[in-house]
């Protein structure tokens, strides 16, 4: 059952859990605003890049067709720099590389996904008995799990938390977010114009191999991965 945000906030206030309202508000903003915005911006930037590649091939075909009309014996055209897609996101005159904007949006999206889990832990911490609460500046998943073990009434909540954080996608989110502090450790990139000779093309948008803590995170299709992260957060934290 999904709770209405305002009803839940009122429930917290009525049960004298005023300190839980702040992490709830932050969690709500992350779930309903920051994550979805970053998700859609990444998709929009990817769409601009994909359209640029389509336009590139249309342009090349048009140039070759022009040669055919002119009666050229050899139908060939060597692309120039001017033919290459510009892939620009234009925000009321502010022009940003779509590839750069795509990377930034991916980083933002997965970072907010990580924060959703941390904010949930802060929310849980704020409603447990005061004598067992953790220092709010140092709340993490492992500490919350350990604390919940002491309360029989929270065993169902503990089970749900263990189930969510035990999944490989959660561990990937954590490893990725830890790595993006250092830009060179993990990269989100866009492959250039791809030509196919009957073979299946590699993914256009790629997250490079990510250093891990026990689970291998190889090169991944970036669009599929953000879909997976979005589904994970929606099912476990909304």
60-78 pLDDT, tens digit each: 888 888 877 777 666 677 7
Q: Which pLDDT value is given to residue 2?
A: 61
d(CA 48, CA 8): 40
Percent of the chain with pLDDT over 90: 36
Model pTM score: 0.84
Class of residue 28 by CB neighbours under 10 A (exposed 0-12, middle 13-18, buried 19+): middle
d(CA 101, CA 39): 12
Nearest alpha carbon to residue 173 among 224, 100, 112: 112
Is residue 121 within 8 Å of residue 139, measured between CB atoms?
Answer: yes
Class of residue 145 by CB neighbours under 10 A (exposed 0-12, middle 13-18, buried 19+): middle
**Confidence band, pLDDT 50/70/90 cuts, at residue 49:** very high
Mean pLDDT confidence for 201-228: 84
Q: Which pLDDT value is given to residue 1?
A: 46
Mean pLDDT confidence for 215-234: 89
- Of 19-28, 115-124, 191-200, least confident by mean pLDDT is 191-200
């Amino acid at each position: 059952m999904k709770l209405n945000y305002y009803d839940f906030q009122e429930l917290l206030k009525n049960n004298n859990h005023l300190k839980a309202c702040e992490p709830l508000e932050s969690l709500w903003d992350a779930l309903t605003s920051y994550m979805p915005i970053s998700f859609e911006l990444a998709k929009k930037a990817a769409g601009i890049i994909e359209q640029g590649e389509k336009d590139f091939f249309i342009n090349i075909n048009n140039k070759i067709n022009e040669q055919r009309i002119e009666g050229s014996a050899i139908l060939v055209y060597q692309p120039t720099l001017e033919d290459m897609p510009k892939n620009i996101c234009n925000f009321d005159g502010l022009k940003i590389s779509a590839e750069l904007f795509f990377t930034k949006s991916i980083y933002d999206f997965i970072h907010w996904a990580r924060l959703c889990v941390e904010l949930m832990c802060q929310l849980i911490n704020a409603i447990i008995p005061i004598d067992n609460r953790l220092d709010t500046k140092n709340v993490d998943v492992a500490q919350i799990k350990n604390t919940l073990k002491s309360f029989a009434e929270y065993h169902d909540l503990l089970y749900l938390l263990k189930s969510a954080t035990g999944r490989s996608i959660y561990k990937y989110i954590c490893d990725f977010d830890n790595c993006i502090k250092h830009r060179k450790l993990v990269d989100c990139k866009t492959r250039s114009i791809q030509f196919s000779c009957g073979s299946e093309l590699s993914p256009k948008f790629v997250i490079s191999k990510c250093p891990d803590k026990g689970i291998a995170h190889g090169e991944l299709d970036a669009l599929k991965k953000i879909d997976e992260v979005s589904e994970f957060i929606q099912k476990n934290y909304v």
